[in-house]
Structure 1
Amino acid sequence: MSTTTGQVIRCKAAVAWEAGKPLVIEEVEVAPPQKMEVRIKILFTSLCHTDVYFWEAKLIFQGQNPVFPRILGHEAGGVVDSVGEGVTDLEPGDQVLPVFTGECKECAHCKSEESNMCDLLRINTDRGVMIHDQKSRFSINRKPIFHFVGTSTFSEYTVVHVGCLAKINPLDKVCVLSCGISTGSSVAVFGLGAVGLAAAEGARIVGASRIIGAKKFGITEFVNPKDYKKPVQKVIAEMTNGGVDRSVECTGHIDSMISAFECVHDGWGVAVLVGVPHKDACS
């Protein structure tokens, strides 16, 4: 059993106090994990554009309030410090990756082979507290500091639902796997960030004949929508004799999703949406 089990840990964390303002290194208190929770010591973490996006909080939909102060971060690797009630498949010392789209293993989505959008643990950028008791595990002088997508890895210690952790080894080379690379025939990839490049690499590995994206990263053909006066989906359909067999949308932008749907071949084409749009952006 960890010597810190049941105790509050004081550690350093990068706190975002306000939207767009520099993060401040603060001493925070990290409470012990509660039911189905795990406290982990973060050893490696990296910066994703999603962290920047929600730190800036420039796109706020009607009725929303940006969640601050909060601890951002979701690409990381760490070691289990202690576990809460009901956690049986992890123990102190285990090496883990926090994952912002977790799996409760009990809902219809988790039991289906067609989906991993867990009813309980799917990504929720508005929730700044833990599911068990709707409270934060972070505080400064008893003032709660909110969580981010259930991970908050810009802290030396964090508390995560057990369903949002993956046991893994070795740890020092894989922290970006918790986000950027968590994902044959002709394929079009929309959004060539870390997720899109991972999708393109997956397509290459399984032997896709044509991968439309950026040649520098092993993709066979590059299409820049700005180079054409017609919609990019029409360009792709024309260059592939009716459309690609598969398209992968990795941005979460509604217009990009429409293009991904419309560029696949009728009859057998499949569009896969990896990007997650904000629910209010669809209204």
Structure 2
Amino acid sequence: MAYVIDGDTSITWQASRVHKDFQGLGLLKKLGHYLQSILKERYPKLKREHYTSANWPVISKVLSKRPKEKLVMKRPRVSFDTNPTDLNQILKNQSKKQEDLIDALKKIHVLSIEEGVVALKNCDWSKLFPTGFLIANWEPYMIQYASNYPLFLQDSTMLATRDKSGQVESISFGTIINSPAALRYRADYYGNSEQDAIHHIMKHAVLISQLDQKRDISYAILLPETLDKQAIKDFVVTKMGFTNQRTDENLALLISMPPRNFLSKM
């Protein structure tokens, strides 16, 4: 699969799969040639390709051999696994321990798609999205293209924190990934404050606690490189009490490259 986004100027590639009984027959190559013919015909404005990866050891080797490919962004992760009973109890305990927590969470607003579009158009991109990209539910988007906003906002819960003047200070996107074993929830935070990131984590946790009272919960939040991941990790482990907590310093890597040969004539 390939998503054409950014005003039809970028391709985002998705992983390919071949059934084990049909591997080694050149099917991916044939599918690739067919997809290339469609791209050439339908999207004459294509300029670049992007993909995301979670495997830094492999990607670091790939980048050393492919100088035209560029690492644009790293998104470290803080995550935990729990169950609805424990999560509800932890949220109650936190509210009792921190009297200002409820007020802080009230300042983080859940935005509709229409409100999200307005917030993204009017926020300070240089602070929230210094690379010009955001990754929502693993997909990379160039923030300058308003045509992208409905694509990720329609599948996400968007939270925003504003300053006293109404300017958006931080944004996060939460996405449900349903599976039989657990309710998986992934959030992407964009901001410049560890404390604010913690509040967004808590706000998403409150939303998660209202979704499903039966399945276990697997929750991961991606963070900017500039934040102190250890401070956020310490809060999740020590103050919230999630013992089965983990971090991955290079969970989401955004790689950008110029068009490959089959697009070079566009």
TMscore range, shorter length: under 0.3
The higher-RCO structure (CA 8 Å, 6+ apart) is: 2
Question: Which protein is richer in strand relative to its size?
Answer: 2
Question: Which protein is richer in helix relative to its size?
Answer: 2
TM-score (norm 1): 0.25
TM-score (norm 2): 0.26
